[in-house]
Amino acid sequence: MILISPRYVFVLLLVMGGVYTLLWAWVMHSSRERVEYGEITGGLDVLRRRLFSVIALAALVVFLGTQTILPYQPVRDITVGEPVTVINVTTSQFVFALSNTTIPANVPVEFAVTSVDVNHGFGIYDPDGQIIAQTQSMPGYTNRLIFNFTKTGQHRIHCLEYCGVDHWGMEAFFNVE
DSSP letter, residue 139:
B
Provide the pLDDT for residue 70.
62
The sign of the CA dihedral 24, 30, 35, 39 is negative
Q: Answer yes or no: are the C-beta atoms of 107 and 84 closer than 8 Å.
A: yes
Examine residue 110 and state whether it is found in any structural domain, yes or no.
yes
Q: CATH number for the domain including 107?
A: 2.60.40.420
pLDDT tens digits for 62-74?
888 877 666 555 6
Domain assignment of residue 169, given as a range: 82-176
How many residues are present in the chain?
A: 177
What is the mean pLDDT of the segment spanning 48-59? 93
- Listing from the earlier edge strand, what are the strands of the sheet with 102-103? 102-103, 171-176, 153-158, 120-125, 131-137
Asked if residue 128 is part of any domain, the answer here is: yes
Say if 170 falls within a structural domain. Answer: yes
What are 79-98's pLDDT values in tens digits?
677 888 999 999 998 899 99
Is 30 within the bounds of a domain? no
Note the pLDDT tens digit of each residue in 139-171: 999 999 999 999 999 999 999 999 888 888 999
Residue 91 lies in a domain: yes
Domains in the chain, number: 1
Angle at the Cα of 111 from the Cα atoms of 110 and 114, rounded to 5 degrees: 145
Predicted TM-score (pTM) of this structure: 0.58
Q: Are 121 and 94 in contact (CB under 8 A)?
A: no
